[in-house]
Amino acid sequence: MKNLKLKAARAGMDLSQADLAEAVGVSRQTISAIEKGDYNPTINLCIKICKVLGKTLDELFWAED
């Protein structure tokens, strides 16, 4: 499932995929894969992403029914 909430939060902070990737210590391709729903990140990576974007785990990674 695509993660449009992550993409929107990243874009809302005017960060490119490369900017976010550098901030959390992964490749741009990893961020792209998370946004496309092709990669399920570890909880530690989710937490790092949330800290950079100022969001909670629920706001970015909780699937809506």
Q: Which domains does the chain have, with CATH numbers?
A: 4-60 (1.10.260.40)
Q: Is 26 helix (H, G, I), strand (E, B) or coil?
A: coil
Residue 23 CB neighbours (<10 A): 15
Cα–chain-centroid distance for residue 51?
10
User: What's the CA gap between 11 and 40, in Å, rounded?
Assistant: 20
**Rounded to 5°, angle at Cα 26 from 21 and 31:** 55
- pLDDT tens across 17-62, in order? 999 999 999 999 999 999 999 999 999 999 999 999 999 999 999 8
What is the model's pLDDT at position 26?
A: 98
What is the model's pLDDT at position 62?
A: 87
| pTM for this entry | 0.92
